[in-house]
Each structure stands twice: as structure tokens, then as C-alpha cells.
């Protein structure tokens, strides 16, 4: 019998779907767990699209009560209203934030002895920051990477997504999806929704044949081998933030 061994810890939902911990994200999770005992006013959480870094920002928001704002929408004049009586803010796609607004926000948070969680695609050293004061502050902050999800993590997310929909999916379907789908939480969510919709429309269970057809319609690669990036020691290969 084919078996898929998942070496995962399950974390409680904090205003969003459950967040699964594995070697790809455990360092980032450890830093979130350390809050509020961060050694700096800011923490930079960076990783590629679909790695779950925004989900982790929601986890932190659930704990801290801090607002979460897209970097491109950060407005210097609106910062007092954004902070309100609080002392923390999470900024998603922080590398897109106007530099003066981000510097002002950093200073306001530091003055209040609060914290700033910056979520980005890369560490600040690669942002090309023009403002010297902002550059020096951010380069002095801890920057922790969250890596793309591997097979174990995608499998766990897929199984949870199907379970949330009260859909039973065989292990052979999960394994097939792992071999042919894009490695991202967004792709997992999309596939679960599309497969569920197709199965309901056709009054049939979710099978490999249905998965093959849905992947073909969605542009999935039917011939590409698994591109798992999990290290050999991780065994069978692990959102959030779904």
C-alpha cells in the first residue's frame, strides 16, 4: 500500500486557516513565537510568492492585534490613524511601501516601544533603499526567510482543504496532484475548489482522471516530474497561512 508520511505539527487557527509547521517555515514561526521579545523594533519576514509568509503575518496580527496594511497603500499622513492607540503594524509587500512613510512608521513604532512586522519577497539588502536612515534601520533588523512549501506541506494543505469541504479524496489523487501541480498554497486552494466544483457538477468522486482533466484546463503540466524541494532527510516530503 502506498503511504505518505507527514511530519508536521498543527497550529491552532488564529483568525485564518490552520498553519502547518515544517522545516521550510519553522525558523519564521519561531520568530513569531518569540514576540514580543524581539531584539529590534522590526522583523522582516521574506520569501517567494506562495510560501505562506502573508498567512504567518495574519497569525501575528491575531496575536498582537496589529493592523495589516499593503505596502503600496502606506500613507505617511494616515499613519497616526493606522496606529491609533496601538504600537504595532504588519506591512505586506513592504518593499513596495513609500520609503518616507515606512521610515516614519518605523520611528513611530519604535517610540511607542512597539513592533513592526515587514513581509517581503526579499530581504531589505535587496530592496535598493534610497533613504539612508531607513536603510540603516532595516539592515539592522532581523530578517528571516520562509522557503517555498515542499510536498509534505502541500499534501497537508490539500488534505485540510478537502476535509474543510467535507470531500473524501484518495491518497492516489493527492500523490498525483503533488507530481503535477504548482508548488504554492494559492494553487492548492484553487485546485481544491476546482476539483470540488467539477465533482459536484458531474455527481462523481474526485479521481485521478478528474484531477488530470482539471489540471489540463488550468494549465497544469501533465508530464513534469515532481519538483519537490524538500531535503532528503525530510522523508516523503511538508500557509497559511493556507
pLDDT digits (tens, 9 = 90+) for 12-56: 444 444 678 888 899 999 999 999 999 999 999 999 887 889 889
Domain boundary among 145, 161, 190: 145
Inter-residue contact 101 to 125 (CB < 8 Å): no
Residues sharing a CB contact under 8 Å with residue 143, sequence separation 6 or more, in sequence order: 43, 44, 45, 46, 123, 124, 125
My answer on whether 176 and 128 are in the same domain is no
My answer on whether 156 and 51 are in the same domain is no
pLDDT at 219 over 70: no
- Residue 1: pLDDT band (50, 70, 90) is very low
Instruction: Give percent of the chain with pLDDT exceeding 90.
Output: 66
My answer on whether 124 and 178 are in the same domain is no
My answer on whether 198 and 118 are in the same domain is no
- Residue 42, judged by CB atoms within 10 A of its CB (0-12, 13-18, 19+), counts as buried
Q: With respect to residue 136, please indicate whether it lies within any of the assigned structural domains.
A: yes
Name beta bridge partners: 9. 21
Task: Quick: pLDDT tens for 155-206.
Answer: 988 998 999 899 999 999 999 999 999 988 888 989 999 999 999 999 999 9
What is the rounded (10 degree) CA torsion for 102, 107, 108, 114? 100
How high is the pLDDT of residue 207?
96
| Closest listed residue to residue 237, CA positions, set 120, 227, 134 | 227
My answer on whether 109 and 155 are in the same domain is no
Residue 174 structural domain: 151-234
User: d(Cα 223, Cα 158) in Å, to the nearest integer?
Assistant: 21
DSSP for residue 145: E
Name beta bridge partners: 46. 120, 145
Amino acid at each position: 500500500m502506498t503511504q505518505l508520511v507527514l511530519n508536521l505539527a498543527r497550529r491552532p487557527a488564529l483568525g485564518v486557516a490552520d498553519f502547518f509547521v515544517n522545516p521550510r517555515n519553522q525558523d519564521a514561526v519561531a520568530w513569531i513565537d518569540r514576540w514580543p521579545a524581539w531584539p529590534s523594533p522590526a522583523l522582516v519576514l521574506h520569501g517567494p510568492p506562495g510560501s505562506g509568509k502573508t498567512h504567518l503575518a495574519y497569525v501575528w496580527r491575531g496575536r498582537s492585534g496589529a493592523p495589516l496594511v499593503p505596502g503600496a497603500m502606506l500613507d505617511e499622513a494616515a499613519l497616526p490613524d493606522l496606529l491609533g492607540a496601538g504600537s504595532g503594524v504588519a506591512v505586506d509587500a513592504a518593499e513596495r511601501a513609500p520609503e518616507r512613510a515606512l521610515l516614519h512608521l518605523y520611528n513611530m513604532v519604535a517610540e511607542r516601544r512597539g513592533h513592526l512586522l515587514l513581509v517581503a519577497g526579499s530581504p531589505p539588502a535587496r530592496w535598493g533603499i534610497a533613504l539612508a536612515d531607513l536603510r540603516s534601520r532595516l539592515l539592522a533588523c532581523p530578517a528571516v526567510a520562509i522557503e517555498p512549501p515542499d510536498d509534505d506541506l502541500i499534501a497537508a494543505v490539500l488534505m485540510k482543504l478537502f476535509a474543510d469541504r467535507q470531500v473524501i479524496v484518495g491518497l492516489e489523487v493527492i500523490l498525483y496532484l503533488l507530481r503535477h501541480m504548482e508548488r504554492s498554497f494559492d494553487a492548492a486552494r484553487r485546485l481544491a475548489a476546482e476539483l470540488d466544483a467539477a465533482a459536484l457538477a458531474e455527481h462523481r468522486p474526485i479521481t485521478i482522471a478528474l484531477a488530470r482533466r482539471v489540471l489540463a484546463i488550468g494549465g497544469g503540466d501533465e508530464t513534469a516530474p515532481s519538483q519537490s524541494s524538500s531535503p532528503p532527510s525530510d522523508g516523503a516530503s511538508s500557509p497559511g497561512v493556507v
